[in-house]
Structures are given as C-alpha cells and as structure tokens.
Structure 1
C-alpha cells in the first residue's frame, strides 16, 4: 500500500508573474497549485505564467483558479488572508537572501542579478506563512529557491536551504524522533515507545525567527543536534543572519535553548544575510565542527572542543564554493568537508593531517555532482551524490579511483542511508532516495562493496520531502516520509531476513 492521500496544496508566491514561472516549473506532479503575485506584471510575464501553468497541468498538477495579485502595502495582511482561504500545506518562494554577483565599492552594497523586490516578496510571504501556521496549528512547509541557479541540465532554480537528509533519528533512550523545518520553526514527531507504532506530534518547537531550513546531526552518545539560521533585526535597519544550534538530550522533552554561533560576516545588513547554510559533524574525540559558505564564497569554520570551548570563525581559503557543503566523519574519527564549486562542476575537499593539523584543500576530487544532491554516506568518510550528466546516484571516498555508480537514475535530490543492516548474517548498507514522480526507493548493497551492485526496490509513497531511514539499536529499520502534512512510516518486516517493508501508515 502506498502512502498516498489527497493532493498536496501548494501556494507559490512571487513578486510578479515572470518570477513565478521558475517556481511553477520546479513543482512536481500531483500538487493542487495556486499562484499569488505581489505585483501584476506585464502582458508578456502573464502570458509566460499561463504557459507554465498549462505545462504544470499536463504533468499532473491541478491548477486552482487564475493567478491573483496581492500587494503588500497593508503589511502583508492580504497575503495572510489568502493563505487562510487556501490553507496551503507547502509554500514556494524566491530566495529571501539572494547571493550577490558583484560588489559596488562606491556605494558599499552588493549587486544582485534579480529584481530587488524578489527578496522582499519572499520575506513578506514567509512572515504571512508563519502567522498562518501559528494561528491554524497546521504545519506549513516552505521551499525557497535561488533564481536562475544552475547551468546546463540543472538550470532549474536550486534550493536556498538543503533538503533535510537525516531528519529521522534515534535518541539516547532508543525512541525515534522526526524533525522537519516549517514556516514557524521546527516541527517534531516522537515515537512513544522504542520500536512501537504509536507516535505523538506534530509539535511545534520554540525557535524565534528561524529560517525554513534544518540540519540534524547525531553525536557519539546518540543525542541529536539541530542547526539552522536565525534572523534578527539590526539597530540600523535590515536583518542579521546567524547560525544557531540546539540539542535534544531527552526524547520528547524540550530542546536546549537555541545557541547562536554567530556568522563569519556579522553585523553587516548586506553581508550577513548571505551566510550559507551550516554543515556540521562530530569527530572521534567528541569535538564539533561547523562549516558555512561566507559572503566571499569561501568556507568558514568554527570548532567546539570536547571541553566545550569554541574557536572563533576561521577562514579556509581556496576555490570559491556554492552554498552546498557536506561534512563527514572518517573511520579514523577525523572530520572532512566536501563543497560544490561555485564556478564549475567540481567538488572541493578540506581535510587535516591530524587533530591539530592545518586544513588542506584538495582539488583532485573526481566528482561532478548535480546541484542539491550531495549528502554524507552511511559508511564513514563516504559521500553520496547524483552525477551531473546522468542523474545516477554514486558514492565516493578518498582514495577511490573514481565514483561508484549505484544505479537508479529516477528522482531528484540527495541519497542517504544507514549501515550495519543484517540479512542472513551479512552486514548491508541500506540506501533511500526519491524515485519516479517523487516516490520512495530503497536499495541495498553489501557493506563496503557498493561496486558489487545495488538492488533497488520501490516502496510506493508520494513524498513531499526527501525520504529518510534509520536503524534503531534493536535492529528495526524504519522509513519515513510526508503524506501531505502527516508523517508516514514503514518498517522492515523482519529484523534479520530480507528487505521487505510493511504497508505505510500515517501518524
């Protein structure tokens, strides 16, 4: 049985019809789609949007009504009224903090290659979506897209915030927790008993003015740590974006307060808005490394030692990078960083010669990933990605001659997984990815032997997010996705034999 239900209600908000075209094109099949524009736009823009909506209808979307114009002169009340009437489960927006293409030294301001109102419209819509979620109590999930990002086969808009990759995690007490970002903050579902089918949630966790992105990293003790970006107003106008972190030390209980790690470009109303989304990993000694792309399109890093003391932000010089960083922990307990290059299809790697060694940039990584597809692999030190040319998932690790193809070119976004899954006494790595039309596909290969072949099976589920997988300490493998706004789950039928999964159920 597939985890399907009514079509997901998606509302696109853009400054004008022309700017809405890319967002409509990025919407997959099966959605109930509505478009709101802040400005009416010209005749050509409206015609282009009509064509984009017709294309969306042909690929399986249900277009509800004609695009409507909703100004923001009333402080966004008009947008909020529209959201109340539409009751969207997902909102698609432009990038609220676009990346500069050059800098005007005379005026001391960054220069962007998109309409100045794009970001303002996105922020107004995000504010309205937050307000609607808080008053309705229903989760509203948000996608923010960079306009015109990507080249060649990846010319579609790329996400401002990465797809949550490891959002299903096991806690210290053996119970599972699902964390996802929403318009009003992080929402959480909690398993009531280890291995049980009963869950509670969704519960909105406090988090003032968090942007709709989330990174979940588990430490060596089993505690999940959450990383996000938080917006705060500056005294002289504008907003500051800072990296923030919280942890869950007791499953189902409140998180720690969100602690600010600051920004490599703090206090500047223009520069701080462009801080990239954080990547993080723990080393074998319990230290934590946090990486971001900075305003200059290089990498900045902070480190918290096992004693709890943080270093200042350190600038790692090298090739300019895109806002797509992945941190991994090697079998020897060292943290390494992979980053997609900004101006080419290359990937850069930073590593150290030891706990106190300097960071070294490696430009010889033989990868060309599709934007938005990189993730840490289930085996130590490995990275998963989709090939730029073929869209096929691949795995690579330092020392390998080249990437190992994993098969299964359907779908989009990252591939994740878990290791140590036992079948008839053998240890396997289990992979999960989106499949055709946003469904869920599960693959497996002998641990450490991806080159021996991967067996993929579709586990039908219409997912609004990238699916996730975790294996708990009892050996139970659980898959998770979203059906509308509900958490959908499936379990492996046998803890030690075969890869069959039970029917999906929602909580």
Structure 2
C-alpha cells in the first residue's frame, strides 16, 4: 500500500489507520519540516509495532523533477502498490466570499493538488500495467478514532455483487482507472472472467450499485475533468448493464446541482440512488450548501432538472431506499449535530423532512437494509451494527459482532424451511463476517460467523435466480475471492474460497 501526500506530516493520520499485516510505503512531494518528519517516523514505528511492514523511510520527490505526476509514476512503478491512499482532491469549504464568489478553505491548496496528482499517477500506473490499483481519498480533519470507513471522502461500495437476468453474477469495484468487473461464465459455476476495465476516464474512487425493478444493475459515480482555465468539473455519472458480460451503456453525465460554478460543483457529495416501485429512478447528492439535491428519471427515460430539498444541513453520508408503499426515501447524517434526517414523499409527490430518527450513526456506515424502507448503520458511540425502519421508536441491534464499515445484504436464502436475510461485513481483524436472520425479522436475532477470509473494504453477497448464495471479497494480492453455498445440506455452509478470473 502506498501513501501519497504533500509532506510527511500529512501521512501521519493515514498511516495510523492501517491494519496489521499491511505493507506501507510513503511518498511525499516535499521534504516538509523537521517536526513533521519526526511525527511520521513515530507513526511508522507504531505501525511496525502493531504488525505492519514498513518499506523503508518516506520517499521524497526531487525538487527538479518537474511534472509531479510523472515523478510520482516513477516512484509508484518501483512500489507497484495494489492500494493507494491519499487526501481529498475536492475538500469542503468553510467560508464563502459572496462578493467574489470564492469559497474559503482551512487547509493548504497544495493538499488537494497533491491528491489530484496522486489519482492521475495511479490511473497511469494501472493503464500501464493492466493491474487494478484501488484508491482511497481521506477527508481532512476526519476523526481517525472512528476507523478508516468513517474518514473516506468517497464511500466504500456496498452490494457490488449482483445477479444478472440470465442467472450469472457480476462483481463491480472502483479502481484508479475506472470500474473493473468480474462475471461468471456459466450460471452457478466457479469459472469467472476478469478483472475487466470498464472505460471511464476521470472517475473518482467510490461506486454506488443499485438494481432496477427488473434486476438490472445501475452504476453511479463522480467524474472529475480538468478545465482549460485551471479549474475542474465534477459531475455525477450513470451507466447500466443489461446483459452480463456485454458492454455497459456509456457513462451518461447527470451534471451536478451546482454545475453553473465549477468552484461549487467540485464539492458535490457522492451520489445515492434508488428506484421506486414504478421504475422511476431518483439520484441524490449533497450539494455545495450542504443540503440535498436530486434528479429523477421517469420510466419513459426523461430526466428532471436538479431540484433542491432544503432543510437540515447534511454531511456526505446519504442512503436512498424504496419505501414499503413503493416510493423513495433518503436518509442523511446531519452535518452540525449527531443526528440523522429523513426525507420522504407524500402521495402527491411533495417532500417532507423528518428530524426524529432516534439514533446517531458512525460516518460512512449507512446502507440499505433488505426490508423496504429500512437502513443499516453502526452506532456512533458503540460501533454496534443496527437496523432502523421509519416509525420505530428505537433501532434494532444486529447482534454482537465487531468490525467496521457498512454492511452489505442479500435476501431470499432458503434454509431449514425458512427464508433468511444475510448480512456481510468486515468483521474483527478485517475478516469477512456473515450474519443471518429470519427475513423481515432482524429483531428475532442475528447469527454471525467468521468466514475465514480477509477483506479489503466491504465484502458482498448475492443470491442467484436459482437460489444459490455467493459471497465475494477483495483480498490481498489483487484477488477477488468467491465462495458458494453448497447445494447439499440445510445449513449455511460455504465452500472453499477461490479466486475469480485472473
């Protein structure tokens, strides 16, 4: 894993987030000051004590190296990282000068520029080698005590393993050069193809995958494009897969809620999306003013303009779900208080803000639950996984399991004559954990088990049209590991983990 930052001091929080067993190489664009170098030395020594392998001291680019992207690429060739961690290329503003129309920031501009250079160098390395490079960008001043998932600028993807209409599974993951996918050759088989790069120049880390009412997967992300005047355009993009293994639709730009001013538009939050029961698609984004904007694509393919929900200011965490009545709702973590806010539509289509959800969430952990209208999250104080549905007086605990980050889900698993919903997440020690409960009844108890495989990020699960359960995880060595539930027996036992594709 490579950490790429402007100066040594900037690497300290990123190094502190690394789990035991990680190989860490630090690359700095500048030498920085004596105190910053000493702080990084201490952070690297502490990482080694907890079981990380530190690959020498930090590398510093030469002042005469010229183009920083070229110089970074030279360094990355020697490291050949499968993961790269850097800072936020598009940080949030803390003030705004109305007279000049200029946002103000409380961190040096060089940090954002260095992050953009790191993204460009990682893309170039992946295109040069053909091997995936997974990138995470970390928000400035994030509380590292809450864990890596809570510090990400672009959220970790969940539910990225999907069953196609023909019964074959596809896995989608974001990388430095775009989204890569793996797919099954034959339904239910252990033969996979991939990783295959889906073209998408300028895609930022992060990915939202949502299935439409027909079961087709739709992908949403952010695309960052340099402008000729020195600025950048950040826009929401959307693509869909209608046939497993065949090309996706082109990435369609949805623009952004602040597209008229690139300085505002670059701060767009990561999109959340959901379909209503009629097939209308809603896409939600946190805008420059820290409220929510959305666009809707009707079933005839027509897109509405960006519209503004207003109300409570929110952070980057959004989750959109299909409600029991068939409409769409969106929940967001409040920006200025430890609260969650919900917006829902009445029968006439008007939006109502609900500030009464009785819980606070750990950043980066909200995700859709299998039950319509419900969400999963980790409690801000305890980190315990929980579920909540609108109208419930309290959240529902999801069992005694550690770990971090959001939970992915699958439903419709038959066992012992009952139908179960499944939860998969990164459990204690970053190992895959699998939980099960009677479908629609999380309060009846969740049974967890360790699946014995490591996980970078959030593992995923899917149930094919024939009822076969598959769990997938991104593992060290650029491998996608998959395990299938055996056809025989009544228990929830998975077969051996195997690498998918190349």
Give me the TM-score of the superposition, normalised by structure 1: 0.95
Q: Is 1:114 paired with 2:107?
A: yes
The residue number in structure 2 matching 1:24 is 15
Distance 2:97 2:29 in 1: 28
Matches within 5 A, 1:187-226: 187-226=180-219
* Cα deviation 1:361-384 (Å, max 9, x = unaligned): 100011211111100011211100
The residue number in structure 2 matching 1:85 is 78
Contact 2:174–2:180 at 8 Å: present in 1 too? yes
The residue number in structure 1 matching 2:116 is 123
Distance 2:115 2:448 in 1: 38
* Cα deviation 1:218-255 (Å, max 9, x = unaligned): 11111111101112233433111000000111110111
The residue number in structure 2 matching 1:240 is 233
Unaligned runs of 5+ in 1: 1-9
Change in CA separation of 1:22 and 1:333 when aligned onto 2, cut-off 3 Å = same
Q: How big is the shift at 1:59?
A: 1.6
RMSD of aligned residue pairs (Cα, Å): 1.5
Q: Is 1:314 paired with 2:307?
A: yes
The 3-state SS of whatever aligns with 1:451 is helix
Change in CA separation of 1:197 and 1:433 when aligned onto 2, cut-off 3 Å = same
The residue number in structure 2 matching 1:175 is 168
The 3-state SS of whatever aligns with 1:222 is coil
The residue number in structure 2 matching 1:263 is 256
* Cα deviation 1:250-282 (Å, max 9, x = unaligned): 110111011100100014231111011000001
Q: How big is the shift at 1:157?
A: 6.4
Instruction: Work out which of the residue numbers 439, 454, 458 in structure 2 matches 1:447.
Output: 439
* Cα deviation 1:411-432 (Å, max 9, x = unaligned): 1100121122111111111111
Deviates more, 1:380-389 or 1:265-274: 265-274
Q: Is 1:54 paired with 2:36?
A: no
Deviates more, 1:113-122 or 1:151-160: 151-160
The residue number in structure 2 matching 1:457 is 449
Give me the TM-score of the superposition, normalised by structure 2: 0.96
Q: How big is the shift at 1:309?
A: 0.9
Q: How big is the shift at 1:156?
A: 8.9
Distance 2:318 2:149 in 1: 19
Contact 1:378–1:418 at 8 Å: present in 2 too? yes
Deviates more, 1:407-416 or 1:131-140: 407-416
Distance 1:187 1:498 in 2: 33
Contact 1:240–1:267 at 8 Å: present in 2 too? no
The residue number in structure 2 matching 1:337 is 330
Distance 1:83 1:144 in 2: 17
Change in CA separation of 1:109 and 1:15 when aligned onto 2, cut-off 3 Å = same
The 4+ residue runs of structure 1 with deviation greater than 4 A are 150-157
Contact 2:144–2:151 at 8 Å: present in 1 too? no
Distance 1:408 1:129 in 2: 38
Contact 1:148–1:155 at 8 Å: present in 2 too? no
* Cα deviation 1:98-121 (Å, max 9, x = unaligned): 011111334432111222111100
Distance 2:31 2:117 in 1: 16
Q: How big is the shift at 1:207?
A: 0.8
The residue number in structure 1 matching 2:410 is 418
Change in CA separation of 1:495 and 1:108 when aligned onto 2, cut-off 3 Å = farther
* Cα deviation 1:400-444 (Å, max 9, x = unaligned): 111011123411100121122111111111111111111011011
